[in-house]
Amino acid sequence: MIDGSSIADTATPIALAVLGGGLLVGGYGLVAGPGGSGLSFVWGGLVVLSALGIGALGWRFLCERDTDEPEQPIPTPPLPDPLRREVRDERADGNCEFCRTESDSLSVEHVTPRADGGANVRTNLVALCPACVEKVGDGVYARSELRDAVRRQEHPEKTML
């Protein structure tokens, strides 16, 4: 209990501060979540600039939950059609960028998957034929091999023969 207030859930941001003329007032602390589980580190601060006759108030709150669960990356939004067409039609020019076979049904795939935070940028996209898409999905081809294929397409002047 702090000043008659209890901190019941550390996942909900709570900032407690004391006003002071021209001072930075802050505090650090460890608080327990519901049922005493999951310690969290909390910092809160308050700034008042009264010397200039201006009341400016700012706060920053940081709450990091101590957990064994790995942090999940934020998935990338779906690939925009103009970028898909640019990679498939202009850069790949009708050929699989991995095996170099001609194909009418190229699929544009992410080198680093969207679910792992892979970006929608040309250097993270590769145009593949259906056979190569299947081999990538089955783990026959490594993602690093796809990166090399994209580098060859993006920078042909730097590719050694």
The whole-model pTM stands at 0.51
Fold of 81-156: DNA Binding (I), subunit A (1.10.30)
Angle at 74 between CA 34 and CA 110, to 5 degrees: 155
Domain(s) of CATH 1.10.30: residues in the chain: 81-156
Report the alpha-carbon distance of residue 35 to residue 40 in Å, rounded: 13
Highest mean pLDDT among 9-13, 45-49, 133-137: 133-137
User: Distance between CA atoms of 84 and 105, rounded to whole angstroms?
Assistant: 13
Nearest 10 degrees: Cα torsion 146, 149, 154, 159 = 140
pLDDT tens figures, 103-149: 999 999 999 988 888 899 999 999 999 999 999 989 898 888 888 88
